[in-house]
């Protein structure tokens, strides 16, 4: 009985610690969410936590913040621009990384390890070092301020990590599966589409989460390569301009910030069951 109590106590304190950390972590988001529905007078007169003591005071809640942000502040166009930027950037990165990772993991060719080492080394190269050189190339080629340019930039920055993760997953797959397929006459093309891709759903979902969240929340790359043009500006650029233009009306900023959070949250929670499996894959072998 004493041994069971001793085993129970560490788990109890661990669960208690996780609950406390989770509450601390979610509190700012909860405050942002509640403030986004409160009127300007309510936000200026009291803190967001007072809604729990005045729960039935519905006069302080309104949808005007969201209506003003989406219509008057141009967030609707910025939201669409973010989708146009993020979805192709994620698809290009995952597609190219899957092909490259399969080649590094399953195909023999001269210089394979050297090339993979170079790819892994690119993970430690700061993005800031590449901004000005690539911007000059973009200006010469006419890609600055275009969606095509930002797609290529985000894909290039995301490929090293994506290739690394997917390659480790492919390396952890049993060799017998591919050997049996090759003995039955399957080509590398067939083995990739019929075996590797269906088995790699967890790691592909993890890469999608990483790339989607990074591109959606990016401000620096979009600011440099798009230049803040309103027609192509994503949500992050629009929010940064709202901070300057609506500094006194920050109740609108809460609504604008929460609009920018909705889609990343949907993507993460819809793919989270694959997240841990994809990250841990290949951690032993690879």
Shared-domain flag, residues 259 and 221: yes
pLDDT tens by residue, 231-263: 888 888 887 777 665 556 677 778 888 888 888
pLDDT tens by residue, 202-240: 889 889 988 999 999 898 999 899 886 778 888 888 877
Report the DSSP beta bridge partners of residue 61.
38
**What three-state secondary structure class fits 7?**
helix
Range in 7-11, 23-27, 149-153 the model is least confident about: 7-11
Shared-domain flag, residues 49 and 137: no
Shared-domain flag, residues 193 and 228: yes
- Whole-number Å distance between alpha carbons of 179 and 197: 16
**Predicted local confidence at residue 258, as pLDDT:** 81
Inside any domain, residue 185: yes
Mean pLDDT of the chain: 82
Q: Which helix (H) or strand (E) holds 64?
A: helix 64-71
pLDDT value at 30 more than 80: yes
Shared-domain flag, residues 109 and 214: yes
Helices and strands in the chain, H and E counts: 14, 0
pLDDT value at 284 more than 50: no
Inside any domain, residue 8: yes
Q: Do 215 and 86 contact (CB within 8 A), yes or no? A: yes
Shared-domain flag, residues 92 and 209: yes
Burial class (CB in 10 A: 0-12, 13-18, 19+), 17: exposed
**What three-state secondary structure class fits 38?**
strand
Shared-domain flag, residues 80 and 143: yes
**Predicted local confidence at residue 16, as pLDDT:** 86
Shared-domain flag, residues 23 and 42: yes
* Number of folded domains that form the chain: 2
Q: Please give the share of the chain, as a percent, with pLDDT higher than 90.
A: 24
> What CATH number has the domain bearing residue 258?
1.10.3720.10
Inside any domain, residue 255: yes
**Predicted local confidence at residue 215, as pLDDT:** 94
**Predicted local confidence at residue 285, as pLDDT:** 47
Inside any domain, residue 285: no
Shared-domain flag, residues 41 and 8: yes
**Predicted local confidence at residue 38, as pLDDT:** 82
Shared-domain flag, residues 122 and 50: no
Inside any domain, residue 286: no
pLDDT value at 269 more than 90: no
- Whole-number Å distance between alpha carbons of 74 and 235: 9
Shared-domain flag, residues 10 and 137: no
Q: Is the pTM of this model over 0.75?
A: yes
- Domain residues for the domain of 30 are 2-62
Range in 2-11, 116-125, 129-138, 158-167 the model is least confident about: 2-11
- Whole-number Å distance between alpha carbons of 168 and 123: 15
Q: What angle do CA 228, 146, 258 make, to 5 degrees?
A: 50
Shared-domain flag, residues 51 and 87: no
Instruction: Show which of 17, 34, 62 is a domain's final residue.
Output: 62
Shared-domain flag, residues 58 and 74: no
């Amino acid at each position: 009985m004493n041994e069971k109590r001793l085993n129970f106590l560490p788990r109890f304190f661990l669960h208690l610690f996780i609950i406390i950390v989770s509450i601390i972590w979610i509190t700012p988001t909860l405050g942002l969410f509640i403030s986004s529905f409160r009127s300007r007078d309510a936000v200026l007169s009291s803190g967001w936590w007072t809604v729990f003591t005045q729960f039935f005071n519905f006069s302080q809640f309104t949808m005007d913040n969201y209506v003003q942000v989406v219509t008057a502040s141009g967030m609707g166009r910025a939201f669409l621009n973010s989708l146009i930027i993020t979805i192709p950037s994620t698809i290009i990165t995952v597609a190219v990384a899957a092909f490259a990772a399969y080649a590094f993991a399953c195909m023999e060719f001269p210089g394979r390890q050297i090339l993979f080492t170079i790819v892994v080394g690119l993970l430690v190269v700061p993005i800031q070092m590449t901004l000005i050189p690539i911007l000059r190339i973009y200006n010469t080629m006419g890609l600055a301020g275009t969606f095509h340019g930002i797609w290529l930039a985000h894909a290039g920055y995301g490929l090293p990590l994506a290739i690394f993760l997917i390659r480790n997953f492919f390396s952890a797959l049993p060799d017998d599966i591919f050997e049996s397929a090759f003995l039955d006459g399957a080509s590398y093309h067939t083995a990739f589409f019929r075996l590797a891709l269906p088995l790699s759903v967890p790691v592909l979902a993890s890469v999608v989460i990483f790339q989607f969240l990074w591109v959606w929340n990016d401000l620096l790359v979009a600011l440099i390569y798009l230049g803040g043009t309103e027609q192509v500006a994503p949500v992050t650029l629009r929010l940064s301009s709202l901070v300057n233009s609506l500094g006194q009306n920050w109740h609108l900023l809460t609504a604008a910030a929460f609009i920018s959070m909705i889609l990343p949250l949907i993507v993460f929670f819809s793919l989270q069951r694959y997240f841990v499996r994809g990250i841990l894959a290949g951690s032993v072998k690879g």
